[in-house]
């Protein structure tokens, strides 16, 4: 059972779920491609390719743990954002306490549809969550729920 599902309040409904972008796997993938190409060069390259492949697998495992350990949700009552398996960073903020959301996307973020989302609380506290897939849709889900509650 997911973190979001385990921590729902009574009668609280999940309206939107988001994930980390799969771009967290980009560097391990690039390293694996380079490692696979090194044996074609001959000489000492095959040994170096094996070392690079092992390093890439380590990075891939780390990326998978980051990807699998992240959950983002908009519920009927709250915004819930959690990252990490072992070292957890979680934000659970009531919708009434959300004063704003900021989405940051660089050029690659715009091209591959990922970015950072900053949740700003009523007291001015800010929490950032990076590499969220489709961050504009997440912001829209929060804004729609805030509009429903205000209307």
Summarised one tens digit per residue, pLDDT across range 1-41 is 899 999 999 999 999 999 999 999 999 999 999 888 877 77
Residues of the chain with pLDDT under 50: none
What the block records as the tokens of 34 is 């380079």
At residue 86, the pLDDT reads 86
What does the pLDDT read at residue 43?
63
Assess contact for 97 and 121: CB atoms under 8 A.
Answer: yes
Model pLDDT, residue 132: 97
Nearest to 22, CA basis, from 60, 58, 57, 67: 67
Q: Which of 93, 150, 142 is nearest to 122 (CA)?
A: 93
Evaluate whether the domain defined by 3-20+73-150 bears CATH number 2.30.29: yes
């Amino acid at each position: 059972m997911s973190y979001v599902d385990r921590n729902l309040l009574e009668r609280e409904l999940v309206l939107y779920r988001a994930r980390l972008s799969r771009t967290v796997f980009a560097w391990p993938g690039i390293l694996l491609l380079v490692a696979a190409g090194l044996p074609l060069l001959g000489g000492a390259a095959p040994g170096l390719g094996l070392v690079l492949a092992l390093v890439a697998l380590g990075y891939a495992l780390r990326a998978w743990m980051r990807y699998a350990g992240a959950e983002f949700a908009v519920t009927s009552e709250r915004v819930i954002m959690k990252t990490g398996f072992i070292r957890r960073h979680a934000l659970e903020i009531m919708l009434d306490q959300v004063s704003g959301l900021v989405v940051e996307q660089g050029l690659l973020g715009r091209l591959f549809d990922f970015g950072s989302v900053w949740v700003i609380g009523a007291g001015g506290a800010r929490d950032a969550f990076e590499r969220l897939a489709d961050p504009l849709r997440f912001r829209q889900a929060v804004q729609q729920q805030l509009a429903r509650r205000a209307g």
